[in-house]
Amino acid sequence: MIAIYDNSHLLHDPEYEIYDGAKINYPEVPDRIETIKNSLTQVDGVEFISPKSFDDKLVFELHSKQYVSYLKDTTKQIAPNRDLYPSNFIHDTYAPLTQGTFTAARKAVDTALRGAELVAQGDSLVYSLCRPPGHHAGGNYMGGYCYFNNAAAAANFLSKHGKVAILDIDYHHGNGTQELFYDRDDVLYVSVHADPSLNYPYSHGFEHERGRGKGLGYNQNFIVDKNCGTKPYMATFHQALSKINEFNADFLVVSLGFDGYRDDPIAGFNLSSEDYASIAKYIADVDSPTLLVQEGGYCVEALGELARVFTKNMMQHKNS
């Protein structure tokens, strides 16, 4: 399995999050991806490569020119080691900007696109170690630690080569991804996440949101309770996976969040690393070449183990 990594994610390192009027530590830290990379380096059969630079037109197919320029121009004016809370093109208060944010976020898109290209060329399993994450970013906005929608960029790239399914198993609903494909029937979006009436992103992720126009039926939201544990989670996960299998896609993109893990500091379905191993096996059984795109997961001490277990099980089952 090829894994794609680039160190420019280190340029995005906000100091704080504003929560309930107070400054708290920013959970979406550079160590998340460093830990995952270091752990995968020890796994047999994983080979690392760097992304390359893809044309900006692939970004503009999803994000407006106005939004992209705003991000580029605003970050240029930020002093080193300062956080700026933007007041335009933003969904919520959870997307601080630093001087390096644009560069890091743009490279995360290249990381996802490089993975999509390899999968389009015949690789059966690729892992894009994207950071910052992307699934909350929409056509015209950042939010929830996300700036550009990496998984959506990959899915949109792959949609030129066949039918694409996106399975989002991050704890949070991917409101940006949902929005970007809401009117389309060539990209299916299926997400399993915590109840948005009690959890971020609050605005979207309800089960009645099923797509629009010819996209109707090609968006499926599945809700599980916070801390629900293995049994209820797996029951719902299997319902979601059967939607994916029914669609019979040419390519599968997984928005891979590890924030369902039991010790996650901001989220958690009370899942164990054994649960992530079995989730990986079931996903590997989907009969489509698969791109894993990193989204959330904030228990830094566990991320190395979770990524290792997940990829080992994916690799074993994908080729058997």
Classify 111 as helix, strand or coil. helix
DSSP H helices in the chain: 31-41, 57-60, 65-76, 101-120, 150-158, 175-181, 230-247, 273-284, 300-318
Residues in 171-190 that interact with ligand OKP by CB under 6 A? 172
Among 6, 28, 83, 259, interactor with Zn ion by CB under 5 A: 259
CB of 94 to ligand OKP, least distance (A): 4
CB of 245 to ligand OKP, least distance (A): 25
* 266 binds, options ligand OKP, Zn ion, none, Cβ within 5 to 8 A by partner type: ligand OKP
Residue 74: partners with Cβ closer than 8 Å, 6 or more residues away: 84, 86, 97
Site string for Zn ion, 112-151 (x = CB under 5 A): ----------------------------------------
> Concatenated DSSP letters for 249-263?
-SEEEEEE--TTBTT
Q: Give the nearest residue (CB) to ligand OKP.
A: 296
Scan for tokens 């997984």, then name that residue: 254
User: b vs e for 281-295, b when ≥16 Cβ sit within 10 Å of the residue's Cβ?
Assistant: eebbebebbbbbbbb
Q: How far are the Cα atoms of 108, 172, 198, 218, 294 from residue 226, in angstroms, in the given order?
A: 29, 10, 9, 25, 21
127 binds ligand OKP (CB under 6 A): no
Does 135 participate in catalysis according to the annotation? no
Which residue lies nearer to ligand OKP by CB, 289 or 304? 304
| Ramachandran region, residue 79 (left: φ > 0; alpha: ψ -120 to 50; beta: rest) | beta
Which residue lies nearer to ligand OKP by CB, 145 or 276? 145
67 binds ligand OKP (CB under 6 A): no
Tokens of 268: 């958690």
Which residue lies nearer to Zn ion by CB, 205 or 289? 205
289 binds Zn ion (CB under 5 A): no
CB of 173 to ligand OKP, least distance (A): 8
For residues 171 and 227, give the distance between their C-alpha atoms in angstroms, rounded to a whole number: 11
Burial class (CB in 10 A: 0-12, 13-18, 19+), 171: buried
200 binds ligand OKP (CB under 6 A): yes
* Bridge partners, residue 23, by sequence: 18
196 binds ligand OKP (CB under 6 A): no
Residues in 145-184 that interact with Zn ion by CB under 5 A? 170-172
Q: Give the nearest residue (CB) to Zn ion.
A: 296
258 binds Zn ion (CB under 5 A): no
Among 114, 296, 308, 312, interactor with ligand OKP by CB under 6 A: 296
Active-site annotation holder among 9, 136, 173, 204 = 136
Do residues 241 and 288 touch, judged by C-beta distance below 8 A? no
* 112 binds, options Zn ion, ligand OKP, none, Cβ within 5 to 8 A by partner type: none
Among 19, 48, 60, 206, interactor with ligand OKP by CB under 6 A: 19
Residues forming contacts to ligand OKP in the complex (CB under 6 A) are 19, 94, 133, 136, 144-145, 170, 172, 200, 257, 259, 266, 295-296
Question: Known catalytic residues?
Answer: 136
Residues forming contacts to Zn ion in the complex (CB under 5 A) are 170-172, 257, 259, 296
